[in-house]
Amino acid sequence: MHPNKLLTDFLEYLEVERSRSQKTIENYSFYIKRFLMWAEISKPEDITIELIRNYRIYLNRWTDEKGVGLKKNTQNYHVIAIRSFLKYLAKRDIKSLSAEKIEIGKNPTHEIEFLDGDEVERLLQAASSNDLKTLRDRAILELLFSAGLRVSELVNINRDQINLQRQEFSVRGKGDKIRIVFISDTAKSALEKYLDKRTDAEEEVFINISKNISGTVSKIRRDKLKNKKAKTQTKRLTARSVERIVKFYAAKAGIVKDVHPHTLRHSFATDLLANGADIRSVQTMLGHSSITTTQIYTHITNVQLKDTHKKFHGKRK
């Protein structure tokens, strides 16, 4: 059977039997198609360890029209997808290279950028007006920091998900995994003020708000049937819109760091660990499937090691 047909079967397997998210399926499709186009093979048996080695060299040397190459972790994602494809072939008893023969390169460690307590407070206070748009933005900032949400999780929240009384709700994270997140008193207050000011019946929590509408989106709802343009004004916020909102208030607060929504997720994790939370609990709250992912925070938040160094190092007798 031709590899392209097997790829289609593999993607359907991921969707139906493995219940992988649509984003994961899209990524695997892209990575494996890229490999098959480069390899120009006609049957799975043609996949050899030498072919994989040459492909990895190709990925490492590849550059776009601006001369920018692929990051090491992106190169590894390509290889991980190929390995998964080979495992699927083995599961179907289709002769090809054994996935175990392919080693995954080590991802380079990178420094985590996060905001300290003062910077978080300045960022939140930068959204302090009482108009609907600013109340929405304050709720976004509070929720990103309070619950450690991914931006994709934030924009997909609906009103019926949130239990303000219990200050918790469930979100669907990577791999369609559902987890419970908790919000602080200040995040609860920000959400209440924002939702109380909303007079529409839209199910989405975070929506676009037209600049020419003062304090209410009810007019938009009334005009929906009359004006098609108005329909686009109540749609769910996109991840890109949230990124622009976060950057706007970071600049307004005078924060010189390059602040993204994920910066607040990093800040959430480092704040918990620095104040004594155990790493397993933080792993659960972040929705990490592996403790290894959570451990990227420990080298900058290990207060105990810092105190030990201060207590015992450099004591001259």
* Active-site residue, 150 included: yes
Which one is catalytic: 72, 174, 179, 197?
Answer: 174
Which one is catalytic: 150, 188, 198, 266?
Answer: 150
Which one is catalytic: 55, 88, 194, 297?
Answer: 297
Q: Which CATH architecture has domain 117-304?
A: Orthogonal Bundle (1.10)
Q: What is the pLDDT at residue 213?
A: 44
Once rounded to an integer, what is the mean pLDDT over residues 236-240? 92
pLDDT band at 105 (very low <50, low <70, confident <90, very high): confident
Q: Give the Cα separation of 182 and 146 in Å (integer).
A: 7
* Active-site residue, 262 included: yes
Which one is catalytic: 20, 188, 198, 265?
Answer: 265
Nearest to 127 by CA among 62, 193, 78, 211: 193
Q: Domain coordinates of the chain in residue numbers?
A: 3-101, 117-304
pLDDT band at 302 (very low <50, low <70, confident <90, very high): low
Q: What is the pLDDT at residue 276?
A: 83
Stretch among 27-41, 59-73, 104-118, 193-207 having the lowest mean pLDDT: 104-118
Q: Which residue has the higher pLDDT, 222 or 179?
A: 179
Out of 1.10.150.130, 3.90.1530.10, 3.40.50.620, 3.40.50.300, the CATH code matching 3-101 is 1.10.150.130
* Active-site residue, 174 included: yes
Which one is catalytic: 83, 138, 266, 288?
Answer: 288
* Active-site residue, 95 included: no
- Please tell me what DSSP assigns to residue 295: G
Q: What is the pLDDT at residue 20?
A: 82
pLDDT band at 303 (very low <50, low <70, confident <90, very high): low
* Active-site residue, 31 included: no
Query: For the segment 272-281, what is each residue's pLDDT rounded down to a tens digit?
Result: 988 888 889 9
Is the pLDDT confidence value at 299 over 70?
no
Q: What is the mean pLDDT of the chain?
A: 86
* Active-site residue, 88 included: no
- Given the structure tokens 């030990």, which residue do they identify? 308
